[in-house]
Amino acid sequence: MTERVVLAYSGGLDTSVAIGWIAEETGAEVIAVAVDVGQGGEDLDVIRKRALACGAVEAEVADARDEFAQEYCLPAVKANALYMDRYPLVSALSRPVIVKHLVAAARKHGASIVAHGCTGKGNDQVRFEAGIAALGPDLTCIAPVRDYAMTRDKAIAFCEAKQLPIATTKKSPYSIDQNVFGRAVETGFLEDIWNAPIEDVYEYTADPSVPREADEVLVGFEAGVPVSIDGRPVTVLQAIQQLNERAGAQGIGRIDIVEDRLVGIKSREVYEAPGAIALITAHQELENVTVERELARYKRQVEQRWGELVYDGLWFSPLKRALDGFIEEANQHVTGEVRMTLHGGRAVVTGRRSPKSLYDFNLATYDTGDTFDQSKAQGFIEIFGLSSKIAAKRDLAV
């Protein structure tokens, strides 16, 4: 029986060439799988037909936008996930949903190998292969660009020699990955970390320095899930899409960061994630109102570890699953509405309300009606600081 390879297919030059390249290198039949996570671009059926024209024996396309938003982006919002306190895991979140569809296709078509188009230098090779190992430990992985030295020059030559139905136009100076949760841009002149990004780098966001009217938005949550925008019900996907448009129009969500890659190097990345940043900003503030102090403090530690696990490609790991349970529990009372002003590249919270609020006006006020018994504060402080006081006396006596 001829061996079969499932290929993560984007419809671009590299993965189109990879179909024939893999067939020649391994003698296997190739099944192309394209997954729509809101990256835009060509119609899925066009991509499917191109895969077949390039030599795939089967081609599958999946509209996974709602799945991606609900099962991958939403947990990131609940976790307030910002790698290195800034990056909302745009690319890292999309890899496990793609992996899930690749492994399902491998089972369906009797494939023993899964292929992807990543280089040997980035995080994505780890995310794909660690995810595949977790969901299909019997499957093996290959990466033509990494394993067979499939350079772009070789890919173009192969494309032209085989007369494949794909344009071999001059490559963009940037490497771009995008989905509904955001957009990642790297390489080109950005590799010099002294160079400032220029406006043509951006697509999801308008120039925040251009004067424009501010936009006020009301985001409603139930148990950490965004359920309404300005009082109108939305799905998670719709919430992201609408805030992408409105926050993006105000230049919100631009991130320029030198980040720590899993493979051990530092890389300069420019991100746009207007909807993600707006949602996380609103969610964090509603947590401030509804989550008890000690739980909130501990959750911040969990959020950092959760983000690192996802960034490192360990979405399907036991620790990630365990932390998911904690984050769900911590979100059970995160219900209410947050009002934000979107303007000048920032999402600024201006109001918050919740039926689950822990904010007690009568305890917080300094005016008449204050119910906080200040007479008890002195004794509390004496006992609270007692251990430090005893240690200080010892140290002063030395």
Active site residue ranges: 14, 95, 124, 175
- Residues 89 and 308: their CA atoms lie apart, in Å, by 9
- Residues 331 and 79: their CA atoms lie apart, in Å, by 9
Put the strands of the sheet holding 182-186 in their side by side order: 175-179, 182-186, 266-272, 254-260
Helices within the chain (DSSP H only): 13-26, 44-53, 65-68, 74-78, 90-109, 124-135, 144-147, 152-162, 236-248, 274-290, 293-311, 318-330, 361-364, 377-384, 386-397
Which token pair is 317? 């790991």
Which SS3 state, helix, strand or coil, does residue 350 take?
strand
- Residues 62 and 55: their CA atoms lie apart, in Å, by 19
Residue 300 CA to its chain's centroid (Å): 18
Contact 204/253 with Cβ under 8 angstroms?
yes
Which SS3 state, helix, strand or coil, does residue 243 take?
helix
Which token pair is 92? 């890292």
Nearest to 146 by CA among 130, 125, 132: 125
Put the strands of the sheet holding 29-36 in their side by side order: 58-63, 29-36, 4-8, 113-115, 140-142
Pairing status of strand 254-260 against strand 266-272: antiparallel
- Tell me the one-letter amino acid at 170: K
Nearest to 284 by CA among 272, 294, 299, 305: 299
Q: What are phi and psi of 217, to 5 degrees?
A: -135, 145
* Total residues found in the chain within this entry: 398
Which CA distances in Å does 22 have to 8, 29, 107, 160?
Answer: 12, 8, 19, 17
